[in-house]
A and B are shown apart, each in its own frame.
Chain A
Amino acid sequence: MIKEFFRKRSIHVCVVNTGGCNGCDIEIVSCLAPRYDIEQYGIYVHNNPREADVLLITGPVTLQWAERLKEIYEKTPEPKVVVAVGACALSGGIFKEGHVVGGVHKVIPVDAKIPGCPPRPSEIIEAVLKVAPKAIAMREKKLKNKDE
Chain B
Amino acid sequence: MASSLWYLYEFARKKWIKRFIDAKSDKSSYIPPERYRKIPPIIKFPERCISCEACKESCPAFAIEMIYNESYNKKLPEIDDGSCVACANCIEACPTGVLEMDKHRVETEGLFFDISKYNNLIIDEEVCVRCGNCERACPINVIERKEGKYVIDMASCISCKECIKACPIENAIVVVDEKTLKEKIDKAFEIKNKKIAGKLEIKENAIEEVPHIVNSLCITCGACKDVCVGEIDLTEKKVIECVRCGLCIDVCPTTAIRVYVPIIPKKRDICYVIDEDLCIGCRICQKVCEVNAINISRETKLPYIVPESCISCGVCERECPVGAIKVVKPEEAKEAVKVRIIEDKIIESIEADLMLYTEKYGKVKEEIENLSLKKLKEELKRRVYEENKRIKEMKRELYDKGNNS
Contact = CB atoms under 8 A, between A and B. Distances in A.
Where chain B touches its partner, the secondary structure class is loop
Interface string A22-61: 0000000000001101001000000000000000000000
Interface stretch (B80-88, B116-124, B178-186, B395-403): B80-88
A4 to B, nearest CB: 25
Interface in B146-175: none
Interface stretch (B29-37, B69-77, B336-344): B29-37
Contacts of A115: 39-40, 81-82, 84
Interface string A75-117: 0000000000001001111101100000100000000010111
Contacts, number: 51
A91 B80 contact: yes
Main secondary structure of the interface of A (DSSP, over half): loop
B61 A117 contact: yes
19 contacts: A37-B24, A40-B24, A87-B63, A87-B82, A90-B82, A91-B80, A93-B61, A93-B85, A94-B60, A94-B61, A94-B85, A97-B62, A113-B82, A115-B40, A115-B84, A116-B37, A117-B61, A117-B87, A122-B29
Contacts of A97: 62
A83 to B, nearest CB: 14
A120 interface: yes
A88 B61 CA distance: 9
A116 B83 contact: no
A40 B29 CA distance: 16
Contact of B39 (A34, A37, A92, A116): A116
B85 A87 contact: yes
Interface residues of A, number: 20
A122 B30 contact: yes
Interface string B65-109: 000000000000000111111110000000000000000000000
A91 B83 contact: yes
B37 A120 contact: yes
Given A116-B37, A120-B37, A96 B81 contact: no
Contacts of A116: 37, 39, 86
A120 B83 contact: no
Contacts of A34: 23
B83 A90 contact: yes
